[in-house]
Amino acid sequence: MSLLSDARSIQHKDPAASSLAEVLLLYPGFHILLFHRAAHFFYCRGHRLLARMISQWGRGLTGIEIHPGARIGSGLFIDHGMGVVIGETAQIGANCTIYHQVTLGGTGKNTGKRHPTVGSNVLIGAGCKILGPVTIGDNVRLGAGSVVLKSIPSNSTAIGMPAQVVRRYGMPVRPSDDLNQQDFPDPLQRQLEQLLGRLQRLEAGAGQNAAS
């Protein structure tokens, strides 16, 4: 897919984009793709210093840091973008959406594959941190502020610290298109309700024993 197609994908996803020209001229999420494509080209051909220089220029202009070694599929929409960090061995599939302050990072000083692999049609909410060589399946929605330390299966929604799956879809959906970041169950509330129910059952049992 060409960069022009990437720009059209951003325009399609963002209701604030009034024209294709606005995306091409003003969107840092599109500009960083220009820098990354160039940096990745030189990185894959062994020109590592030049690749890092290009990626750092892009970081300075957009506030988005993508290592030139990262592999990024077509149709990526980085909305707002400030503070996004994508590590060297990260992989991102097609048609994904990433909001600001997202990190696709590594843990420790391990070598080899040490950053996340993200499938296609994935929505990653603002402030989400995905750490280590975990796999995020296709058609996944990650809630804002989540910390993902384990792999998330396809066709699901996950939220929390650490993130846990709170919804599974019977059929594939495309979270990266609908951009819904509000329709999430509250896993903490669910746990508290379960604990409250258990406490009430225990108290009821203790009352019956006392009465007998």
**Cα(165)–Cα(184) distance, rounded to whole angstroms?**
11
How is the chain split into domains, by residue range?
Answer: 3-181, 184-212
Question: pTM of this prediction?
Answer: 0.83
Confidence of residue 171 (pLDDT cuts 50, 70, 90): low
174: confidence class by pLDDT, cuts 50, 70, 90: confident
pLDDT (mean) for 29-36: 96
Was domain 3-181 assigned CATH 3.30.43.10?
Answer: no
**CA–CA gap between residue 206 and residue 86 (Å, rounded):** 54
* DSSP code for 80: S
Both tokens assigned to 142: 């990650």
- In whole angstroms, what is the distance from residue 100 CA to residue 200 CA? 43
**How many residues are recorded in the chain?**
212
Q: What is the overall mean pLDDT for the chain?
A: 89
- pLDDT tens for 101-149 read 999 999 877 788 999 999 999 999 999 999 999 999 999 999 999 999 9
| Backbone φ, ψ for residue 171 (5° rounding) | -140, 155
Between 3 and 141, where is the model more confident? 141
